[in-house]
Amino acid sequence: MSLVVDVSVFIDRLFIYDENRSNRAHSLFKLIDERELSIFEPQVFGIELASQLVRRKPRTIAERLYNEIMDKVITIDEIE
C-alpha cells in the first residue's frame, strides 16, 4: 500500500507549533513505519519542503533534514 502525505504533515512532525497537530503527525508516521507503507510525492514536494526547512533551521541542518526525508519518499515525475 502507498500514500501521499502533505508537506504540512512533515512540518508538523518536525516542529511543534500546535501540539495536537504534532501528536497526530507523530502517530501517522509511526503507523506508516509499522506498516512499512511507501510515501509517494510529486516533484513540487521537494521544493515546498526545502522552503519550509530553510525558514526554520540553519542551512546545514535544513539540508540534512531535507536529505533524510527525501531519501524516504518516492518522487513521481509525472502522473499518467
pTM: 0.87
Whether the predicted pLDDT of 42 surpasses 70: yes
Whether the predicted pLDDT of 1 surpasses 90: no
Q: Phi, psi (5° rounding) for residue 30?
A: -65, -45
Query: CA-CA-CA-CA torsion for 51, 75, 44, 53, nearest 10 degrees?
Result: -10
C-alpha cell read off for 62:
535544513
Whether the predicted pLDDT of 66 surpasses 60: yes
Task: Decide which of 46 and 79 is more confident.
Answer: 46
pLDDT per position as a tens digit, 23-36: 999 999 999 999 99
Burial 37-65, CB ≥16 within 10 A → b, else e: eebebeeebbebbbebbeeebeeeebeeb
